[in-house]
Amino acid sequence: MVSVPNDQGTLLPGTWRPLRLATLVRLRWLAVAGQTAGLLFVALGLGFPMPLPQCLGLVAFSVLLNLWLIFRFGAGHRPTAAVATAQLAYDLAQLGGLLALTGGLQNPFSLLLLAPVSVSATTLPQRSTFILAAVAIAIASIVAVWHMPLPWDPEERIVFDRVYVIGIWVSLLCGVTFIAAYTNRVAHEARQLADALGATELALSRHEQLSALDGLAAAAAHELGTPLSTIALAAKEMRPDIPPGPLAEDVDLIISQTARCRAILAKLRNLGADGGDPFVAVPFGELLAEVARPHQGLGKTIEIATETAAGPDPVFRRNVGLLYGLGNLIENAVHFAKSRVVIDAGWDKVAITLTITDDGPGFPPDLITRLGEPYLTTRARDAESSEAGAGGLGLGIFIAKTLLGRTGARLSFENVALEGGAQAKIVWPRKVIETQKPADF
């Protein structure tokens, strides 16, 4: 699986970030330094007999490989998954060769067979990790049977029981399997969460930019109003002094077009009147009507019911994240509803509650407990169906949960009946809403 962006330039779930070649080279330099120091210490420091030239030859081959990679591609190069997998497979093979020359699994450094698999599990796709895990297991199995004696004092006899060697082999097998399965899964979920949060921030940023256009248009209308009025006034004062003819017609045209421009500017000034300012306080009922309005007329009935027995509507600060989060939940309900969506709001002195219920097939029972996780979806992927490339990628509910969570809300999901009917429930502590300032959103 390669790191390929979609049409909006965002990475699809399950993708990976290619490592820089410099990272792989540095890890190999570290291995070279450690192997060289260990070999020289055993051979020269302890004086144990061992095939030192052959071992140093394997280490020298790693040195040559590093130098060739750096001069051929450069430290900033990012190799493909296949090339990175091949390099880590070489590291396993080189380490296996050293182990075969120095005692096989009896060598305590056989534990280092886990290192390349660990690097792959945290950085490479799952397929690459499984390939390297298979290579590591194969090498461990080979050197467990075919290997030269462990370097040791020739005056002392050291014998390892076969059961002990089998135990080391089993421990390596368990370690490789655990790293390949569990560590890779954890790293994959971490990448998914980072991708999803990035998509959320991108979607929110784009929505904020659209909201800011209202204020920008109103400001432009205000600035252009004065010179336009001056032009219109000057043209009207000139008109009585100009005799009938082509020049008079041109002046009349200027007057009519300035009137048209003033009408357009008046519309631009009113763009912010319907809630363009993200820091305007608004009653809860009006906020829900505003969020639901874009989804009216799509062939589904949207009913909004508010509980007024507990007093007047609580006042929310209109915020782009709040609007976007609620809009995502309503859009999701409208998409799956057969004919009807009910938005029910209620409040008391402690909490403000909102439920969004549709008459569709409901949430899949096996997914209810996981709703809100990134990239969890039952829709076909369609990168062009929504902002930030989130359409069809299972980011709608994740984005809604993330943005509404910033306002202090808690979300839960359930089916209202066995035959279906999905319901999203949002609860805000009332004291949080009443004490929040615009900057809190």
Confidence of residue 312 (pLDDT cuts 50, 70, 90): confident
The predicted structure's pLDDT at residue 58: 94
Counting Cβ atoms within 10 Å, is residue 303 exposed (0-12), middle (13-18) or buried (19+)?
A: exposed
The predicted structure's pLDDT at residue 173: 92
- Looking at residues 232-244, what average pLDDT do you find? 83
Counting Cβ atoms within 10 Å, is residue 87 exposed (0-12), middle (13-18) or buried (19+)?
A: buried
Query: Mind listing the pLDDT tens digit for each residue in 313-372?
Result: 788 887 777 887 888 888 888 888 888 899 998 888 888 899 999 988 888 887 777 776
Confidence of residue 270 (pLDDT cuts 50, 70, 90): low
Query: Mind listing the pLDDT tens digit for each residue in 161-192?
Result: 888 889 999 999 998 888 888 777 777 666 66
Q: Is the pLDDT of residue 17 over 70?
A: no
CB atoms inside a 10 Å sphere around CB 250: 12
Distance CA 154, CA 436 (A): 78
The predicted structure's pLDDT at residue 94: 94
Name 240's Cβ contacts closer than 8 Å, sequence gap at least 6. Answer: none
Strands 301-306 and 281-283: unpaired
The predicted structure's pLDDT at residue 59: 94
Query: Mind listing the pLDDT tens digit for each residue in 281-305?
Result: 788 888 888 888 888 877 788 888 8
Enter the pTM of the model: 0.51
| Range 281-440 has CATH code 3.30.565.10 | yes
Return phi, psi of residue 410, to 5°: -115, 135
The predicted structure's pLDDT at residue 140: 93
**Averaged confidence pLDDT in the chain:** 78
Burial 341-370 (b: 16+ CB within 10 A, else e): bbbbbbbeeeebebbbbbbbebbeeeeeee
The predicted structure's pLDDT at residue 287: 86
- Looking at residues 236-264, what average pLDDT do you find? 82
Query: Mind listing the pLDDT tens digit for each residue in 20-69?
Result: 888 889 999 999 999 999 999 999 988 899 999 999 999 999 999 999 99
The predicted structure's pLDDT at residue 378: 54
Cα dist from 82 to 114, 118, 281, 354, 360, whole Å: 19, 16, 55, 50, 45
Q: Where are the domains of the chain?
A: 21-203, 216-274, 281-440
Better pLDDT: 267 or 178: 178
Q: Is the pLDDT of residue 380 over 80?
A: no
The predicted structure's pLDDT at residue 384: 37
